Amino acid sequence: MELDNLQKKIQEKKAKVGIIGLGYVGLPLAMEFVAAGYKVFGIDVNEEKVDSLNNGKSYIMDIPEKTVRHALNSNFFNATTDFSILAKLDVVCVCVPTPLNENQEPDISYMVYTVEKLEQYMNNPLLILLESTTYPGTTRELFAHSFEKSGKYVDKDYFLCFSPERVDPGNEKFQTRTIPKVIGGLTPASSRLAKDLYSMVLEEVVLVNSPETAEMSKLLENTFRSINIAFVNEMALMCERMGIDVWETIDAAATKPFGFMPFYPGPGVGGHCIPLDPMYLHWKGKQNKFFNKFIEISQEINMNMPYRVVDKIQDALNAKKKPLKNAKIILVGVAYKSNINDVRESPALDVYNILKERGSLLTVLDPFVPSFFDSHGEQVHVIQSETCDFSIYDCTVILTKHNQMSYQNLLDDSHLIVDMCHIYKNSKSDKIHKIGGGR
């Protein structure tokens, strides 16, 4: 009976949907539910985010303010810090952060807090969809077992699935609605409800046999990327040693129409997935007495890349008979990827902190990022511009490529350039230094 009633609500778009966590995953998902005709309640512990949304302002670049205002004006969206709203909901999507602690182990405190709130306020039969990236077993071990201990039973009081987020901030081609949605239900009834719901909102739904398979699929995706990025970063260092241009080498290999996928070197890895997800898998593997060497090696290579960047800067300055200490250096691009304002786990932050420790005089320019915090918790203000007077600096370091940057002006004015993004592909200028050999 509970299944039939909830299924009917979902199919008739009368189900009330809650989104716990209104960040880069939760807010776009909330707007998609609104666009599909569901009434959505956004829940977040951050009062500033909640106030911003309720005033029609967006803090996510992929979500225009007009989208938020339309959702508010249609009375299909409201944001709150009050978890008691859970008692009135039919569906809850959990999109809370899952960071690593200082020991590079999973910090599941946000999910534990969410489970406690769900236990406290769960009233109607509730479809719960965990989207936060986590280790295999979390859905069953943390959520289902906790609910059972508190007297809540699956297929009666709740239905439970894991459905990994696959958000790629700044990607105009693939967004929440168009990215295939993987779903692994705790029970067949859970999977059926989740499929009915997401099929009303997103373009494609992919069912798998268990939450563990869905959990593992997300970690496999991003561990694959981490390992291949590490591989190409190491190849870049090898090519540099051998005097071979790795960029031209990759382009040549990429002409093969099968069996090869191009990855490109850079200052490291950043964002909410690539630096973290492999460590979730590594941690869970160790619990099962399995030690994944690929993950260990790739993490070591990628996390050491910012130090390689600093070495490259030092070498470039030395060639001009300038020491790294007291050198005036401008870092161009601090976001973790192109054309966004997200600095989470950005390798540019590590480059900044290493250079600061070594006594360089630093300035940062990024048209998207207003400021960030260094390793000591001090706020660093950023020049938010497409260009500046690069001639006043001893070295210009390009760490993130942004489409609106004036790279010709940067080339004309800079005395020395360390190009980590292969901006100047065919330039013969002796002022340009880049990783991976060649000029």
Q: Give the Cβ contact number of residue 228 at 10 Å.
A: 14
What's the length of the chain? 439
Which tokens belong to 415?
Answer: 């005395």
At 205, which helix (H) or strand (E)? strand 205-208
Of 93, 161, 239, 273, which is the active-site residue? 273
Q: How many CA atoms lie within 13 A of 325 on its CB side?
A: 3
Query: Helix (H, G, I), strand (E, B), or coil: what is residue 278?
Result: helix
376-403 core/surface letters (b: 16 or more CB in 10 A; e: else): eeeebebbeeebbebeebbbbbbbbbbe
Element (H, E) at 319: helix 293-319
Q: Where are the alpha helices (DSSP H) in 59-141?
A: 65-73, 109-121, 138
Sign of the CA dihedral running 133, 136, 137, 139: positive
Inter-residue contact 395 to 360 (CB < 8 Å): no
Please indicate whether residue 273 is annotated as part of the active site.
yes
Read off the tokens for 297: 């090696």
Reduced to 3 states (helix: H, G, I; strand: E, B; else coil), residue 187 is coil
Within a 13 Å sphere around the CA of 371, how many CA atoms are in the beta-carbon half?
6
Catalytic residues: 273
